[in-house]
Amino acid sequence: MARKSASLTGNPRLSQWIAFLTDGRFELRLGKVELGQGILTALKQIALSELRVPEEAVVLAAQSTDAVPNEGLTAGSLSIANAGDAVRRVCVQIRKMFVAAAASASGIPVSSLVVKNGAVLDDTGRVVATYQALREHVNFDVDVVDADEGGQEASGADNGLSLLRLDLPDKVYGRPTFIQDMGFPDLLHARVIRPPVHEARLGVGAEDVLAQVRSPAHVHRDGSFVAVLADTEEDAYLEAARLAAVIPWDVRAQMPPRSVRLATWLREQPAEAAVLQDVKPTGAAEGQEFRRTYFRPYIAHASIAPSCALAEWANGRLAVWTHSQSIFHLRAALAQALDLDVSAIVVHHVQSAGCYGHNGADDAAFDAALLAMNAEGGRPVRVLWSRPDELGAAPVGSAMTADVTARMDADGAVSDWSYEVWSNGFLGRPGFSGNPAFLGESHRVGRGPLPPSADPRPEGGYGIGRNAVPGYELDGVRIRQHRLLTMPIRTSALRCLGAHFNVFAVESFMDEMAVAGGFDPAAFRLAKLADERAKQVIQRAAELAGWSERRAEDGFGRGIAYARYKNVSAYCAVVAEVEATEDLKVRRLVVVVDAGRVVNLDGVLNQLQGGALQSVSWTLKEEVQFDQSGITSLDWEQYPILRFTEVPRVEASVIDRPEEPSLGVGECVNGPVTAAIANALHNALGVRVRDLPLNKDNIIRAISDSPD
């Protein structure tokens, strides 16, 4: 019997998850939130398939801390497993309750009854009773039982069918739907003025600048936390821009110096060391020794919408509207930062643009809450971040560097693998490390600075060390990590955390050994995998890409990469085809994923295509720029992302395994795509680039550094 998911453990009552409305519809109460990944649609699809009701019979409850179960964070590619399991069990139990009630009322045995379209039918297809008619005979105020999943018998909706995205029509037909589209009567508009790097205070002369604020706008200042407020958005926006251009900041952070390469700087910082694995080789550990070093820079979330929040303080109660990944953790952190009782705060979730991890959402929520508590007349406040702040003040994904060594014998067997990685932590979320960790809070009188980010523990799938353990049969594996204790550039969780860089490094290194030994890179990997599911994604990707038919062609190259996300989640293999003449262009990606039982196939493919293209962007273009004054990549020209004309063909497919637990696919593609591109680049040019991004500068440097 499958273990109950984490979502149920904290929320054991059926009535926490679902209500039977008086009009006969079901209201599904979900704690996982929509980030653009399609999770609400997939979860509703599970409910429809297990309740056996038409689409309009299930509605989703508005998500607030007053109304939905606490499912923690929507992150880590865990929603379909945890929330999916919860919804499935709940709906199976409800269906069985109705069937039992119908059996009891009619005398027909349970085994002769089926459910179709919200009605219980006998084996002639006659309606015995509708759900609505059985209302008085079912009670949802019970515990969720430890029943087997309903699954196979008749979950038609799961088998290759895909409920259309519930939220897409409003977005396509231009109807207001995002948090940025929300408003209230008598709303006060706010813009926060922020320093170019988090560890900073207002400089000398700031007070004079702020005194120049032009009516009807006014300023709220608390230490170095500064906001401009006005009755109209344009007045707050224009006035904030005007003041921000001249306000002086005193940068306290020791930024990485330009004279020293960032990879070197990472190694030199004070850090907390940890050994993640230390398995000694049992065999002879012979063969050629390989030693390589890899690097990736800081990478920004770069969501298309700047973060936004609204808040209202009335009658001693705080209400906040946010796109945070965890409304419950946020509520606790707000209570701590604002010295309120948790019971005095309600947090509502409203969608924003794509969320790829811990971005500015929580900070914007704090900004709005603080300003609302200081707003005259209890007016509600709306905060919208600026684009420069979204790129420069939100946390970013850490820069990372690693040394990899191993031995490979004449037969290609690899032993004595050592991996040592340096990085900032990936856990700076508010409410997670005993510190409210809000950017705005850190700038208030007597507070701050933000402590260096912590890192998820092993139970949380690691951060820095995620996928540092290679998923191959290797004789002897030693993994060490160093978490930096200085954090001039603010880091936290960005999609797949350390797995992006670790998979890039591991899969590049595997490729380097394979090529040096004259082994086919796909066969080299297959020979070191015992897991059939791992082998099959590689074999399928190779087959679909015509891997064995490839021929060397001037300026063209192919590369392959594989990883199992977190070593326990979805399996992914990627073949990349690149053209490397003037610039590096990715022409085609073949992506094959095994995510266990597929719920919403189109949703899965959408996420795989999306994750792949985002990773192409990271790989070819992205690096946070900075100098001694702070972060300087503050607009789309200084932080370019992939454009329509640069997009390769992406052929994504899935190996569906209905008998296996569902696994999330939001993060499994990024690492393998980067590695496959790097491997393809080597195949095209004969040059190994070990520093991301694979832009002109890094490629040219690798060419000039290389021994030939």
Partner 1 sequence: MAIKTLRLQVNGEVREVTANPKAPLLFVLRNHLDLKAAKFGCGQGLCGACFVLLDGHPTQSCDLPAEAAEGIDIRTLEGLDSKPLQDLFIELQAGQCGYCLSGILVSATALLKKGRGFSREEIAKALDKNLCRCGTHGRIVEAVFRAQEA
Point out which residues bind partner 1 (CB under 8 A). Answer: 35-38, 162, 164-165, 167-169, 171-178, 180-181, 183, 214-217, 232-235, 237-239, 302-306, 351-355, 384, 386-387, 602, 606-607, 609-614, 617, 635-637, 641-645, 647, 649-650
Q: Quick count: other Cβ atoms within 10 Å of Cβ 605?
A: 19
**Residue 300, strand partner residues:** none
d(CA 368, CA 191): 10
How far apart are CB 272 and partner 1 at their closest, in Å?
33
Q: CB nearer to partner 1: give 339 or 644.
A: 644
In the bound state with partner 1, the residue whose beta carbon lies nearer, of 181 and 272, is 181
Backbone angles phi, psi at 150, to 5 degrees: -70, -45
Q: In Å, how far are 250, 444, 486 from 449, measured between CA atoms? A: 13, 10, 11
- Please identify, using beta-carbon distances, which residue of 305 and 450 lies nearer to partner 1: 305
> Whole-number minimum distance, CB 347 to partner 1, in Å?
20
- In whole angstroms, the minimum distance from the beta carbon of 642 to partner 1 comes to 8
Q: Beta 249-251 vs 200-202: how paired, if at all?
A: antiparallel
Strand locations in 298-370, DSSP E? 308-314, 317-322, 345-349
In the complex with partner 1, the residue whose CB is nearer, 137 or 242, is 242
Q: Where would I find the H helices in 359-401?
A: 361-373, 387-392
Place of tokens 């014998």: 409
Contact 382, 334 (CB under 8 A): no
Task: Please give the Cα distance from 60 to 39 (Å, whole number).
Answer: 12
CB of 496 to partner 1, least distance (A): 14
CB of 353 to partner 1, least distance (A): 4
Cβ atoms 566, 466 nearer than 8 A: yes
Query: Of 403 and 646, which has the nearer Cβ to partner 1?
Result: 646
Please, what is the minimum distance in Å from the beta carbon of residue 694 to partner 1?
A: 18
Nearest-approach distance from CB 24 to partner 1, in angstroms:
27
**Rounded (10°) angle between helices 670-685 and 601-621:** 50
Looking at the Cβ atoms of 333 and 613, the one nearer to partner 1 is 613
Closest CB to partner 1 among 363 and 691? 363
Total residue count of the chain as it appears in this document: 708
Omega within 30 of 0 (cis) for the link into 449: yes
With tokens 């992150």, the residue in question is 75
Residue placing its CB nearer to partner 1 in the complex, 167 or 520: 167
Peptide bond into 693 cis (omega under 30): yes
Shortest Å, Cβ 377 to partner 1:
20
- The nearest distance, CB 305 to partner 1, in angstroms, is 5
Q: What is the tally of helices (H) and strands (E) in the chain?
A: 18, 26
DSSP category for residue 396: B
- Whichever of 20 and 237 has its CB closer to partner 1, that residue is 237
Distance in Å, CB of 228 to partner 1, minimum: 12
- The CB-of-165 to partner 1 minimum distance in angstroms stands at 6
CB 240 to partner 1: min, Å = 11
Nearer to partner 1, 192 or 699 (CB): 192
Cα dihedral 84, 87, 93, 95, rounded to 10, equals: -110
Query: Closest distance between partner 1 and the C-beta of residue 241, in Å?
Result: 8
CA nearest 350: which of 330, 323, 368, 324?
Answer: 323
Strand partners, 414: 408
- Centre a 10 Å sphere on the Cβ of residue 337 and count the other Cβ atoms it contains: 22
Of the pair 430, 648, the CB lying nearest partner 1 is at 648
- CA angle at 405 for the pair 593 and 693, rounded to the nearest 5°: 55
Q: How far is CA 349 from CA 177, 180, 543, in A?
A: 12, 12, 43
Structure tokens at 159: 């088998």
Nearer to partner 1, 336 or 617 (CB): 617
> Could you give the C-alpha distances from 122 to 5, 51, 130, 290, in angstroms and in order?
33, 17, 12, 69
Q: Cα separation of 101 and 99, whole Å?
A: 5
Question: In this complex, which beta carbon is closest to partner 1, that of residue 474 or of residue 572?
Answer: 572
3-state secondary structure of 365: helix
Dihedral Cα 638, 639, 643, 649, nearest 10 deg: 140
